[in-house]
Amino acid sequence: MDHLIIVDERHLRKLLREYADYYNELRTHLSLNKDVPLGRPVQSHGVLRQLPHFGGLHHSFVRM
């Protein structure tokens, strides 16, 4: 969040909500054996895609 320019309170709340979703649904955690807090199914088939978050500051990889 240090590299983002916050315009107003509404923008900050949107970014915090987006980061919380990213943290709980997409970001892997070593203490959880590289899983996410909410759990996720293992995807073994499909094309690997890179999805940018926060203007490209973070990325997640998913199979589609």
Position 53 in a domain: yes
pLDDT truncated to tens, each residue of the chain (64 aa)? 678 889 999 999 999 998 888 888 878 788 888 788 887 777 788 898 998 988 788 888 888 8
Q: Per the domain annotation, does 38 fall within a domain?
A: yes
Give the global pTM: 0.66
The whole-angstrom separation of Cα 7 and Cα 26 is: 26
| Count of structural domains, the chain | 1
| Residue range(s) defining the domain that contains residue 50 | 9-63
Distance of CA 44 to CAs 1, 3, 31, 55, 64, Å? 32, 34, 22, 27, 10
The verdict on residue 47 lying in a domain is yes
36 within a domain of the structure (yes/no): yes
CB atoms within 10 A of CB 37: 12
Does 44 fall in a domain?
yes
